[in-house]
Amino acid sequence: MEAVPSTPARIADVAAHAGVGIATVSRVLNERGSVAAATRERVLEAIRILEYRPSSVAQALSLKRTLVIGVVLPFLTEASPIERVRGVVTALAASPYDIALYDVESADRQQRAFRLLADAHRTDGLLVVSLIPPDEEVRRLSAGSIPCVLIDAHHDGLPSVVIDDVGGGELATRYLLELGHRRIAFIGDKPADPFRRQSSRDRTIGYERALAAASVPMRRDYVREGTQSRHLARNIAEELLRLPEPPSAVFAASDVQALGVLEAARGLGVDVPGQLSVIGFDDIEIASYVGLTTVRQPLFESGRRGAELLLQALAGQPAPVHVETLPLDLVVRGTTRPPR
């Protein structure tokens, strides 16, 4: 039983203990070059005794690669980013890369996260989720030649994995129209900070297009862009339901908001789908539990795919700067029905 050294061993310690040069230790460590069997044994023995573990920081400095992939995303706000991260984690599990998580909640934090985009030293590659990096940083990124893939966001010159939000908005609205609804309201996010991607905005456009295509006049009082939270969505839905001529259906730009609508209806004694149809967007896990009709977007898949593209780029394959559009599905459950 050897005494445990109070301070972790360095490569020089191993070399000294084995009576060889550090270059030799490095060789057996990385299995490159040839080392005499006997020598290699001595080194291995020394490593075992000293419990030596190479410093990844030193390796990173020397090799100019860190083996970590940075994931920048707005984390706490919604359930969907998490599902995406799961996809990323899964795709990266078999790779040698570790994951550094950068939350982008506060404006302060945002600055820092984006500045990091350009720190070519800290990560080998970047995955940016639902955020639009400033041109400035994108330029630096390519200058530092550190690969970056956007997930649920788009920027010229960067590969990305997205969905067709406009199409999704149309899909949802058209379904409601086909059911026979004419008084269809929309609840979406209000335009927030400039970096945050406004998927809700595009879904509104889809909503408007579908209405136009069906020659159903749009009513300003039915389009409410105010919030991302369930709580606020609930308030808005209540206002909507109290209108002299309330909508017979509501399209919410996200499942979280749709959940708020459901709460409002329940609170007001409005039967869903009897008196009100509700359709959401995303198909987060809760949606299936509450039987919410929604437009499903492949959240997990988006993370997985994004990570795969990044891995390819990291492997040297130039990865054509293309935009990969994931498919959307209408998932009909129990919250929609023809109007009475």
Which residues contribute to the site for DNA (CB under 7 A)? 9-12, 19-24, 26-27, 29-30, 32-36, 38-40, 52-55, 57-59, 61-64, 121
Q: Give the tokens for residue 247.
A: 């909508």
CB nearer DNA, residue 7 or residue 215: 7
Spell out the residues 6+ positions from residue 197 whose beta carbon is closer than 8 angstroms to its own: 130, 131, 132, 152, 153
CB nearer DNA, residue 61 or residue 321: 61
Contact 186, 223 (CB under 8 A): yes
CA distance 307 to 305: 5
Q: Give the tokens for residue 338.
A: 């023809």
Q: Which does 109 bind (CB under 5 to 8 A by kind): a second copy, DNA, none?
A: a second copy
Choosing from 56, 111, 317, 325, the residue that interacts with a second copy (CB under 8 A) is 56
Shortest CB 326 distance to DNA, Å: 38
Pairing type for strands 329-331 and 293-296 reads antiparallel
Q: Which does 34 bind (CB under 5 to 8 A by kind): DNA, a second copy, none?
A: DNA
CA distance 248 to 255: 18
Shortest CB 185 distance to DNA, Å: 54
CA distance 321 to 157: 6
Binding mask 240-279 for a second copy (x = CB under 8 A): -------------------x--------------------
Shortest CB 103 distance to DNA, Å: 24
CA distance 258 to 22: 63
Across the strands, what pairs with 277? Answer: 249
Q: Which does 99 bind (CB under 5 to 8 A by kind): DNA, a second copy, none?
A: a second copy
SS3 186: strand
Contact flag: residue 8 with a second copy (CB under 8 A): yes
The region of 118-126, 207-215, 267-275, 319-327 touching a second copy under the rule CB under 8 A is: 118-126
CA distance 88 to 306: 7
CB nearer DNA, residue 53 or residue 220: 53
Shortest CB 57 distance to DNA, Å: 7
CB nearer a second copy, residue 36 or residue 57: 57
What is the phi/psi pair of residue 137, to 5°? Answer: -70, -35
Measured at the alpha carbon of residue 165, what is the angle toward residues 159 and 171, in degrees to the nearest 5?
140
The region of 27-35, 52-60, 153-161, 266-274 touching a second copy under the rule CB under 8 A is: 52-60
Q: How many H helices and E strands in the chain?
A: 13, 12
Question: What dihedral do alpha carbons 167, 132, 123, 87 form, nearest 10°?
Answer: -20
Shortest CB 115 distance to DNA, Å: 14
Q: Give the tokens for residue 83.
A: 């599902």
Residue 245 CA, chain-centre distance (Å), reads 39
Residues 136-175 contacting a second copy, CB under 8 A: 139-140, 143-144
Q: Would you tell me which residues interact with a second copy (CB under 8 A)?
A: 4-8, 51, 53, 55-58, 60-61, 66, 68, 75-76, 79, 82, 86, 89-90, 93, 98-103, 105-106, 109, 115, 118-122, 139-140, 143-144, 259, 285-286, 289-290
